[in-house]
Structure 1
Amino acid sequence: MEAASLPLATSRFLSPPATAASCSRTRSVPSARTANQALEARKVPRAQRPSPRRNAVAEVKAAPEPVAALTRFEDVLQTQDCNVILRHFGEIRRWDVLSKVFGWMQEHEMLNIASYSSYFKYLGLSRNAAKALQVYGSIQDQSTRVNVSVCNSLLWCLVKNGRSDSTFKLYDEMIRGGLSPDLFTYSTLLSGCMKLKHGYAKAMELINELNSRGLQMDSVIYGTLLAICASHNYCKEAEVYFQKLKDEGHNPNLFHYSSLLNAYSVSSYYEKAELLMKDLKSSGLTPNKVILTTLLKVYSKGGLFEKAKELLTELEASGFAQDEMAYCILIDALAKAGKIWEATMVFNEMKEKGVKSDGYAFSIMISALHRGGYREEAKKLAKEFEDQNVTYDLVMLNTSLRAYCNTYDTESVMRMLKKMDELNISPDDITFNTLIRYFCKAKVYHLAYKTIEDMHSKGHQLNEELCSEVMIQLGEAGFPSEAFSVYNMMRYSKRTICKSLHEKVLGILVPAGLLKDAYIVIKDNGESISPRSLEKFATQFMISGNINLINDVMKALNHSGWRISQEIFGRAIQRYIQKPDKKQLLLCLLDWMTGQGYSVDSSSRNLLLKNAQFFGQKQLIAEILSKQQAASRITNKLID
């Protein structure tokens, strides 16, 4: 009976031979038991021997030189193994090795869609969007087809690095390429809207597209929308989306509550914030550090400093104030409300409690002291942070630099710049502008100019107001060429600049005798310059400018809309007559004047007739002058 309960194939296998029928009964039972034991044994998984591929992957991961190890196991590893290795170095944040491994995979043609997707993800984490775009460009050059997953990874990388222009350009390429974006695509794009100037309007466009494709908004999309509303001060809209989230059956999580609280903090709606906190607790959620810190922001921005201090005490008791962020929120609000000494007290309490500062609280206090006119105190605080900390971030470096610049502490300024080099921190617009202002105030104009030059060469947007001031100071200090260089850097760093800037630089160049440079300004921007300044330039140029450019200057002046005076023409004619070898240029000028309806005055007419031999024959100049007068009469009638 036991044998009959086994699978059919097993029963047949255990059946005794026909010649041993008399023994079949006694042997069948133990044989069946043996079979059961054998089946049970088969069910126990045997320890698998490590395959050569697994061994190779493990060795590459542990190798001091992973690329060399990859080369050793080139014949063993497959693309999926290389992907495992690539992800390993990404997860442990070894960015240099990550790129080398990917480069090796490229070189040995061991890449697939998953390789690109993973690599873009880790380039996003390592803040290397430029490299990601470079790799994507190589994919396009090779006409390699990519799927939505790869594009999503690259989109995420670009958004993570604040490359909004490239993000939406890639999205447009996806659509043109026939790829259908999914919810992850839209969630990523929406995240990129948070820091866009018109981010809310762009977000609405994306939501309309999402709906038109038949996709349903999920809790992640709603959470991102709430965050966009908060970052762009659309409080009412945030409330609408929060309610819609609930109406569609989604349960708000702490992120949703935090985003709506953040929206309330922008407008200081503390009463609504308190009602929302009651709703949060009634839903069964427990406020975490983020929620309580955001509520602290609501109270602080609303000027409810006593409530904010009570909540800070609660955060401390809950163990949520072990870093400086909560203190920074209150300190910043107090400082901006003009309560500088209350801010100082909270700051000092923070230090006494041993709360670690990465420099943010120091930065807030130093800036607050500076704004309040307490420059020496700001400098002392900057020095205190410097003495206590080896590492700096750019924000703290800029704050300390500003504190030292404001007290004209050149030694400390240079020390900060050296520290920036040592820490390999690239200066930003704030760094450059702080230095430019400092060098100008210290009257070290050549350093101010060099800083602007460095700023421009690194692709930073120049501050027009500041650079205009530097340009004028350079001109007054006797550096007109450098002033003109600053003007050109401003022109080429942005499409449009203030019209008055052209006249300002002209006021530097003409007195300095840099008339050729002044001519370039007028040629490109003559219509933005006043008649008075044009006349000053024209007079000076006819006296001492390059004689070979006189005709070009006349054309530029006429093109500006300014009607050239006969006195200017008279000066030009005098210059030409003094140079017999410039006869052809004078004839060209007289011919051009005829075509534009200009004529010479009696003084210049007599001068030309008196020097008729200059032209070879008197009849030629008489004919030219006659044509001029006729053309001038026609022009005057048209004007009248």
Structure 2
Amino acid sequence: METLAGYGFAIKDIVDPVDILKLFVEKSDPDMALRYASIFPHSQLLFCSIIEEFGKKRDMASAMRAYETSKEKSGGFNMFACRSIIDVCGLCGDFLKSRSVFQELLDQKITPNVYVFNSLMNVNSHDLSYTLHVYKDMQNLGVPMDVTSYNVLLKACCNAQRVDLAQDIYKEIKHMASKGDLQLDVITYSTMIKVFADAKMLQMALNIKEDMLLADVSPNMITWSSLISACANAGLSDRAIQMFEEMLMAGCEPNAQCCNILLDACVKSCQYDRAFRFFYSWKTNGIQILNATNGVAKVVPFKPTVATFNILMKACGTDYYRAKAVMEDMKAMGLSPNHISWSILVDICGTSQNTKGAMEAFRSMRGVGVKLDVVAYTTAIKACVENKKLKMAFSLFEEMKRYRLQPNLVTYNTLLRARRRYGSLLEVQQCLSIYQEMRKAGYSANDYYLKELLEEWCEGVIRNDQDRALTGIPKKHKIFYSKKHHGLLLEKVADYLQKDVGDNHAIDIRGLTKVEARIVVLSVLWKIRDNYRTARKIVQEDMIIMAGAGKEMMGSANHELEVQLAIVKVLQDELGLEVIAGHGSGGGNRVPGLDDVNNSDGVEKIQLLNDYRHVVRRPQELGVLKVSRKSLCNWLQKREGT
């Protein structure tokens, strides 16, 4: 071909060049594809075809090579090639590369056309802030927007769940349409309907449908699917069915995804039998729709997908055998159950208290070649937790980390809620370790439940009956934790419980409330007692508690002194330990037994605080309490009866 072209022969009619290029793309040979395309006079268009074909194969490197070659051959930037490579960046999930391609144009003082801008915004529609930045660039460079530009903006708003911004943009383009400057299309209306559907704003979605009909724009399958989804999200399964029937009457042919939305609406409203009736009716008789051309009804065959059967498995409730039969039906139709199918089966077993079946289903996934993911592991962990197989649940958690699967928020919360009560130090350390790992992974947890369990566990130190399961704690110790202090208490407790406190008992309770400080101190005493009970580890050092009096905190100059008094009360009055104020060479002074400062007010509270101040010999030791090693040893021996 090169030789013929060199002699001036017309080679364009010998063979379709696109067919030859596809062969080179299939062989992953970008050099030969580029060499072949260079023979033809319309090589620039062929370069775009090469870029697009490699993009379909998700071969970003070869596509970029074709793009760079197109720049070399043309001696500059080709807008068709720029748009093609940006679209390929979207196909390959490399949105940062699309931004660098765009920035290169701007650096060369080249103004991209509207099609390049639209492709760039579409590839980055998951990032609303960047999409809006590109939109402002269009305005600054004087590039007029078309309806596609606005549709992509609405899509970005939908992805970001910014209903307010989408409404503002829709209002603007409706005004432009009223002046004849713009003509809205079916994508515009369908996107707005989806915005409201996702936000569970059914009436607003229906209003967009009315706007659409008034503008003489016919809804397509995507429009109807969004409307059905809006009804389903609002919990109105009957309205969703009505909308589906309207679609059929309008002559619009539904796809499997649209049918799945309707089935899912039935399942979410617990109309399981209805979902099965729809499925078997469609499977047996097909779907009857009105032919828009001649008004005669026609039957469209229904082709279920894996997602269809997954929805039906959910409709089985806790009936494991029926769910298993649905999975077999899926296989009979030539479809392979995916990780979601197996996860649903595991969940059904767990809900029906069939832990053995859940584990068998979970292990079967790897046997049939299904890759275990975080959803599968989390579902299996949930099944174990529901059936009180906590050791197995934590074992699965460690296993998924060995396979380098990052736990998600649901995984962490499932494990943190596994404990109804703490029985041992190891269990507490286990849960706190998971909590810290969760925080480091960037997840924000509602830690009230964990704090409540921790508080209950710590109160076990002062209970006489050590063998009975821990129950509730006195109401006077119950508090509602403010979000301001979320994490501080748990982080401090985790730090003390996970390090060896056998030789160093310095406890920092600064910044904590009275109840939180109580929990930290009791948790350390728990570990000291546990070490003594299990390993006969003798206390080697005094316990030093730093409360940091002298600063004004939480609106009260006496807050830290009140915290210290509360700690003195639990250590001295409830546990019988000897507490000394200050830890200098003079040894400090023993703090007399005091009533809880919460039971005092006015003059009595002031007198208690002043009395405490006078006990301390040095002002710099006002925020320090000490429990001697001897006192701790006597307490341990007395508690353990040795």
Shorter-chain TM-score range: 0.5 to 0.7
Cα distance, 1:576 vs structure 2:
9.6
Q: How does 1:473-492 map to 2 (within 5 A)?
A: none
Match of 1:91 among 33, 56, 67: 56
Letter in 1 for 2:171: N
Report if aligned partners of 2:508, 2:545 keep a CA contact under 8 Å in 1.
no
- Structure 2 match to 1:124: 90
Please give the residue correspondences for 1:152-163 in structure 2 after superposition, counting only pairs within 5 Å.
152-159=118-125, 162-163=126-127
- Give the gaps of 5 or more residues in structure 1: 1-44, 477-495, 579-598, 610-640
| Gap change, CA 1:566 and 1:350, over 3 Å in 2 | closer
Residue 207 of structure 2 corresponds to residue 240 of structure 1: yes
Contact 2:451-2:490 within 8 A present in 1 as well? no
TM value normalised by structure 1: 0.61
Q: Deviations over 1:146-173 (max 9, x none)?
A: 34332321221123xx334443444355
Listed as ranges, the matches of 1:63-462 within 5 Å are 66=30, 82-99=47-64, 101=66, 111-133=77-99, 135-136=101-102, 145-159=111-125, 162-175=126-139, 178-197=142-161, 199-213=162-176, 214-317=181-284, 318=286, 320-335=302-317, 343=323, 346-347=326-327, 349-350=329-330, 355-400=335-380, 402-403=382-383, 407=389, 408-409=391-392, 416-418=400-402, 420-421=403-404, 428-431=408-411, 443=426, 460-462=442-444
- SS of the residue 2:349 aligns to: helix
Which of the pair has the greater relative contact order for Cα pairs under 8 Å at 6+ separation? 2
Task: State how many pairs are aligned.
Answer: 500
Q: 1:502 aligns with which of 488, 491, 497?
A: 488
Counterparts of 1:221 and 1:430, CA distance in 2 = 35
Deviation at 1:348, TM superposition (A): 5.5
Q: 1:91 to 1:466 in 2, by over 3 A?
A: farther
Query: Do the aligned residues in 2 keep the contact of 1:299 with 1:308 (CA within 8 Å)?
Result: yes
Deviations 1:225-266 (A, max 9, x none): 222222222222222222322222122222222222222223
Task: Report the 3-state secondary structure (helix = DSSP H, G, I; strand = E; otherwise coil) of the residue aligned with 2:158.
Answer: coil
Alignment RMSD: 5.5
Q: Percent identity?
A: 17
CA contact (8 A) 1:67 1:104 kept: no
1:292–1:315 contact (8 Å) kept in structure 2 = no
**Structure 2: 5+ residue stretches without partners:** 1-8, 287-300, 459-481, 522-541, 565-579, 588-608, 620-642
Is the CA contact (8 Å cut-off) linking 1:56 and 1:73 kept in structure 2? Answer: no
TM-score (norm 2): 0.60
User: Contact between 1:152 and 1:185, CA under 8 Å: does it hold in 2?
Assistant: yes
Report the 3-state secondary structure (helix = DSSP H, G, I; strand = E; otherwise coil) of the residue aligned with 1:194.
Answer: helix
Within 1, Cα distance between the matches of 2:305 and 2:516?
63
Alignment partners' CA distance in 1, 2:563 and 2:257: 76
Q: Which amino acid aligns with 1:316?
A: K
Instruction: Determine the structure 1 residue equivalent to 2:573.
Output: none
Q: Compared with structure 1, are the counterparts of its residues 359 and 72 closer, same or farther at alpha carbon in structure 2 (3 Å cutoff)?
A: closer
Residue by residue, what CA displacement relative to the aligned partner does 1:59-83 show, whole Å, maximum 9, x if unpaired? 9857756369979999999876654
Contact 1:509 1:515 (C-alpha < 8 Å) held by counterparts:
no
Q: 1:432 to 1:502 in 2, by over 3 A?
A: closer
Matched AA of 2:488: H
Give, in angstroms, the shift of residue 309 of structure 1.
1.8
CA contact (8 A) 1:397 1:416 kept: yes
CA distance in structure 2 between the partners assigned to 1:114 and 1:502 by the alignment? 56
When residues 295 and 467 of structure 1 are mapped into structure 2, their CA distance, relative to the original with a 3 A threshold, is closer
CA offsets per residue over residues 275-322 of structure 1, 9 Å max, x none?
A: 444443443334443443333334434444333222211333346354
CA contact (8 A) 1:120 1:154 kept: yes
Q: What CA distance in whole angstroms lies between the structure 1 residues aligned with 2:452 and 2:111?
A: 52
* Residue identity matched to 1:167: T
Partner secondary structure for residue 391 of structure 1: coil
Moved more, 390-399 or 502-511: 502-511
